[in-house]
A and B are shown apart, each in its own frame.
Chain A
Amino acid sequence: MKLFFRLILTLTLSIIAWPLAAQAQLEIDITKGNLEPTPIAVPDFISQSDSGRAMGAQVAEVIRADLERSGLFESLSPAGFLEVQTNIDYEPTYSDWRIIKAEALVSGRIVEENANRIRVEFRLWDVFAGKQLAGIRLAATPENWRRTAHKASDAIYKALTGEEGYFDSRMVFIDEKGSKVERVRRLGIMDQDGANPQYLLAGSDLVLTPRFSPSSQKIVFLSYENTYPRLYILDIESGRRELLGDFPGMTYSPTFSPDGNQLVMSMERRGDSDIYVMDLNSRSTSRLTNDPAIDVSGSFSPDGRRIVFNSDRGGSPQLYVMNADGSGQNRISFGEGRYNAPVWSPRGDKIAFVRTLRGKFSIGVMDPDGKNERILTESYLDESPTWSPNGRVIAFTRETRGRGARSEIWSVDLTGQNLRRVETPGEASDPAWSPLLP
């Protein structure tokens, strides 16, 4: 079992900026969506050996897929490339890349230093300006080639957009099997692109709503393993699982505070749900809401000073924001419909939510003061939004209707322009995106 949990990679991955770049000419405005994704060419990375070339092809493939999925880039097909570079330390023949309409070019190589260490080196070229934008060197163990490729994607994304990337990250999710009335759910984890899926728990108990700790090392989730729904924390690497206190009623709806020292959660007593924070060191709890309404889905702002939550105190479920001590509770959602499942963006500038209106479910975003509401999706059932580490993409659960109804994970960017299904081993729900891995 223990091997099963050996997911946190013991890689020594260093990024070294390498003969560096002048000021960027090619800049991608991330706020405008993918109306015109930037064409980028990523040839297979070159190498001195067959094994290095094989890895170079895989690394380039992962980078192409990452950039393409972001919606900001169009990864050009290598079949159309004219120039074959044999040394990435020389400038490319820009005209060959202009002809195929590439605006950016990534030329890279794999250097196998020894059996346990590779270097992945690449240069990012601005094809139209005819200059280098970045030179990057990553060192890793060979088995970590995939994470290294994601790190490379993050570096390219950052060089071209000015924003942190999100490719070297993972998702926990709930794997779903069986018909609606005989559902079996398992806690799973995978890379953000759906690669390397694994199960984290052996049993078949009902588990729900997994959430990552800020360190990406722990997951808090709801389990029915002892009949009554309770919160548990799982340490991913050790596989150690711990019950978070046995309270008289249901404890559920957990998320970590940004410093990882607290949980915000809901506790139910005699049918009434209120929001509490639990200090994870002392295990003491303090109550933040105190009313007969449903108060659930608490989510900290990234500065830890405020909490957005879901309450039906006004008659229907709506979004409210309060200070982290429970003071100053104010409603922020005033649109038509029911508002649920708020999640504060890691950038702090937006709150994602689920809106229900006229029988349709939507993922939307609004500012923390309720302004600038924007609906990004609509379907029979879209729910459980979770933010990418850079606050630019939202992953969520989408359930289709009727016979053959499926539960899937989808993602959409902040502009609503880039709706995609996330590959999962089977049916899946409740994604929770990790921060960028250390």
Chain B
Amino acid sequence: MKPLKFLLLGGVVLGLTACASKPKPAPVQERPVTQAPQPAQPETVQQPPVTTTPNVGQDQPTPGSIEDFAYQSGGEPRVYFGYDQYTLSNEARNKLMQQANWLSNYSNMSAIIEGHADERGTREYNLALGARRAEAVRAFLVAQGIAPNRLSTVSYGKERPIDARANEEGWARNRNGFTNLTSGGVS
């Protein structure tokens, strides 16, 4: 449990910092966190059901933290794509709306959006495909009002898979756009 305590303390500090720089943050959770939120580990492209309103009654990470961003984005700030596709599904759009809401609340945070591809393509083509996916995510967030200078993109092609399985389920998870939160400017 030691790492969890550390996370909590760090989260409070981050949250307070956010308070100072932003007029309307979500209230800081006072009660101790007994269980850290686990980022969803979906076995397939299917996402766990999404709650759009913050669930204040349950265990919840410190507002403004990277964990909070993941939590408020439905478990993980990652959206998935079809084979050789870079259009955003309705599900992806919903999740990106949540990311945009959070980013609107914490304007001191920036993000590097990573585009990823599965291993069923050649290396250079997949770098291009990853760039398309990252851009699709970035453009959507910008359209939701996030300042362009808070978002940059990087394509990893097929070089940084999150799922080692060489089957359709693994490939589907590896076709994604990941919003990697950072503090400070990115572009």
Contact = CB atoms under 8 A, between A and B. Distances in A.
A272 B86 CA distance: 12
Q: Which 3 A-B pairs have the closest CB atoms?
A: A271-B135, A340-B122, A294-B128
Contacts of B160: 183, 206
A79 interface: no
Interface of A: 179-181, 183, 185, 206, 208-209, 222, 224, 227-229, 249-250, 252-253, 266, 268, 270-273, 294, 296-297, 310, 312, 316-317, 340-341, 354, 356, 359, 380-381, 383-384, 399, 401-402, 405, 430
Given A271-B132, A310-B125, A356 B120 contact: yes
A88 B56 CA distance: 91
Contacts, number: 101
B161 interface: yes
Contacts of A229: 127, 154-155
Interface of B: 84, 86, 112, 119-125, 127-129, 131-136, 139, 152-157, 159-164, 166
A180 B135 contact: no
Given A208-B159, A356-B120, A297 B125 contact: yes
A337 to B, nearest CB: 12
Given A228-B154, A270-B135, A273-B128, A181 B162 contact: yes
A183 B156 CA distance: 12
Given A180-B161, A268-B131, A271-B136, A250 B154 contact: yes
A271 B131 contact: yes
Contacts of B166: 380, 401-402, 405
A294 B125 contact: yes
A29 B89 CA distance: 56
Contacts of A253: 124, 127-128
Contacts of A310: 122, 124-125
B154 A296 contact: no
Nearest to A248: B187
A222 B121 CA distance: 18
Contacts of B134: 271
A354 to B, nearest CB: 5
Contacts of B159: 183, 185, 206, 208
Residue from the set A249, A271, A402 with the largest chain B CB neighbour count within 10 Å: A271
